[in-house]
Structure 1
Amino acid sequence: MKAGNNMKIAGKTMYVFVLLTITMVMRLAGNTSSGLVMTVGDSSVLTCPLKGNMTMLTWKIMPKAGGPCTLVYRVDTNVTHRTTCSDNINWTFRAGLPPALEIRQVGTAQEGNYSCEAATTEGNFVTRYHLTVLAPPRLSLSCDEQGSPVCEAAAGKPPAQLSWVPEGSSTAEEKCHDNGTVTVLSKFTACSTSVTNVTTCMVSHPAGNWSQTIACCPSEKTNTNIFLYACIITCVLIIITLLAVIYYFSLHSDRPCHKTKPPEIAPVHSQQDDTMEVEPYTTYVQKENVIYNSVSDLTVGQNLPQDQCPGT
């Protein structure tokens, strides 16, 4: 265990020694590096420290967006040369000082690495800058259709941080742009919709802090829409209930349906039918009478004296 710990300590000591050695070599060679932070629209001058008499100075720029840029100045010919550099980057000459690099009204496109290489009678010196460009967001505060406060921090770099006073629930979304900026949109959810809500949007950003206050009232249109939706839902529920009741009774009805028998219709007898029914009886009576008369005649004829003939 002790041997392992000793090895770890020796490794760390060697690592620190190497770092110190590299730092000393870079200082002896005249290499320096520093970070530079600027805000969109600002101007700045980048210098290149050196020792001895300068013979040539070169600036190499590697922006995050776009191609590299190079500016060269030769002392012996007093000639400057530049390639593919934006118009707001140029040389600046000051009495008694080496030429410097001037950046006027910096934009997000100028963010990147800047390297100055100076050749002098005492050696070569290199100075490096890492330029970071901040874009302050544009703050706007408004009320939406529902009467909720909406805070927007547009085109900020880096993205802004939004907060609300008083504290409450909120939803935030970000939209990235091609130039590296980000728009942050935050919507505050009011605790009450029956009273006026006074809220303050706080914006925190490396380029500065801002705040705005607004009073939003509940939207009458929102209340109307809620009432309309409630009526529609109620009507739909009533219709569904009625249909369910009708369907229930149709399934649970056990009584069979009896068809009523139509009343019997008495046959209609016409006077002609009565006459036809009576005529056979009349004929029969007439025949009976004829027979009776014949018998009577016969009987009477038998009771008469023998010397008297009937009908004479």
Structure 2
Amino acid sequence: MKAGADMKIAGKIACVSLLLIITKLKGTVGNNKKSAAVGDSFALICSNKSDVIMVTWKISPKTGGHCTLGYRADLNQTNRTNCTENMSWKSRPDRDPTLQIQPVGRASEGNYICEMATREGNFHQTYHLTVLVPPELTVYCDSRGNPVCKAVAGKPAAQIWWVPASSSRPEEEDHGDETVTILSTFTGNGTDVNSATCFVSHPAMSYNQSIACPSKDFTPYISIIPGFLSIVIFIALIYYFKLHGGRLCHKSKPPETAPTHSLPVRRVIQLRPSPNQGSSSSPENMDDITEVEPYTTYVQKENVIYNSVSDLTVEQNLPRGLLPVT
């Protein structure tokens, strides 16, 4: 019984020793999480061992096909399969098997495994690379005069806060490609504060900017509006009277009948000699009575009346022997 128990103990010791030997031969297994920002240059280090026989990088991106980078010391030869140009050896692989990614892109995210064979044993190292996308930042004043801070398409979502503190909650917009836009509007806690500082925190960057927005004071507009309306009304009145002023202020008069001017008529009355006098008449006995009729008036009827009265007056003043010529 005792011999059987001793055999079991010896077997367990042998198993543990074998596991330790295997672990030593295979090396340490690591699973490290790394992150790099888009556009940066990033390096992944493999085990730094001497007497390298062979090194292989196996890359499994999150999107796209697998790729490998290999090196064999016995042939002093490198090879690459389905790898993009931004992935290469940092230096000579027989001296430094570090993998260089330059620049980092969205497609660089994924798992990276380095397998190394040396005279001391085999080693491998595993990485999971997360690609960060810095957001595009803008700070501006909205239509109400409130400061606004916006972080567009960041991965992961950015964190925004204000100094002094804002009472409003940020708005989030998910674009469906793991990027998120954050918009935060500054609203004071019951105070009219238009100047504030926006702070943005992101794994790929940090940012802060102060902004002062003009207050919405409508007093200048209230004082300008009446003057502007007065000018508009004044111009409208001028235009109205220009079009209709002549009709309102000046009534049309009936056309006046132009007076008819006639040349003066000279009426000559011939005096007849009396029976007691001879046929010859002297200037003393014959008066050349000449009457010039006045100018005709505007109405012809008045001229007729005037001529009748004039004839009657002449007949009364002449001697009996003298008769007017008809």
| Cα distance per residue 1:155-205 (max 9 Å; x no partner) | 222211111121122132222345533221112234569x66112111122
In the alignment, the residues of structure 2 paired with residue 161 and residue 50 of structure 1 have an alpha-carbon distance, to the nearest angstrom, of 39
Q: Give the % identical residues.
A: 50
Separation in structure 2 between the aligned mates of residue 169 and residue 136 of structure 1, nearest angstrom: 26
The structure with more helix, counted as a fraction of residues? 1
Question: Which of 76, 84, 87 lines up with 1:89 in the alignment?
Answer: 87
Amino acid at match of 1:77: L
- Alignment TM-score, normalising by the size of structure 1: 0.56
The alpha-carbon distance between structure 1 residues 98 and 215, as it changes in their structure 2 partners (threshold 3 A), is closer
The 3-state SS of whatever aligns with 2:47 is: coil
TM-score scaled by length of structure 2:
0.53
Letter in 1 for 2:212: A
Give the Cα–Cα distance (whole angstroms) in 2 for the partners of residues 175 and 23 of structure 1: 52
- 2:182 & 2:100 partners in 1: Cα distance? 33
Match of 1:130 in 2: 128
2:208 equivalent to 1:211 = yes
Q: Which runs of 5 or more residues in structure 2 are unaligned? A: 1-17, 222-326
Which of 94, 108, 111 lines up with 1:110 in the alignment? Answer: 108
Residues 123 and 191 (structure 1), Cα distance of their counterparts in 2 relative to 1, 3 Å cut: closer
Contact 2:134 2:205 (8 Å CA) reproduced: yes
Are the counterparts in 2 of residues 171 and 188 from structure 1 also a CA contact under 8 Å? no
**Secondary structure in 2 matching 1:31:** coil
Task: Give the deviation of 1:83 after TM superposition.
Answer: 2.4
Q: What is the match of residue 178 of structure 2? A: 180
- What is the CA–CA distance in structure 2 between the aligned matches of 1:68 and 1:23, rounded to whole Å? 33
In structure 2, C-alpha distance between the alignment counterparts of 1:40 and 1:165, rounded to whole Å = 29
Asked if 2 retains the 8 angstrom alpha-carbon contact of 1:204 and 1:210, the reply is yes
Match of 2:34 in 1: 36
2:165·2:188 contact (CA, 8 Å) conserved in 1?
no
1:201, 1:27 → 2: CA distance? 53
Q: 1:116 to 1:96 in 2, by over 3 A?
A: closer
Which deviates more from structure 2 when the two are superposed, residues 160-169 or residues 116-125? 116-125
Alignment partners' CA distance in 1, 2:120 and 2:107: 36
How does 1:202-281 map onto structure 2 within 5 Å?
202-219=199-216
What 5-or-longer segments of structure 1 have no aligned partner?
1-20, 225-312
CA shift at 1:120, angstroms?
2.5
Residue 151 (structure 1) shift:
0.8
1:108 and 1:180 in contact (8 A); partners too: no
Structure 2 letter corresponding to 1:163? W
The CA RMSD over aligned residues, in Å, is 3.1
Paired residue total: 201
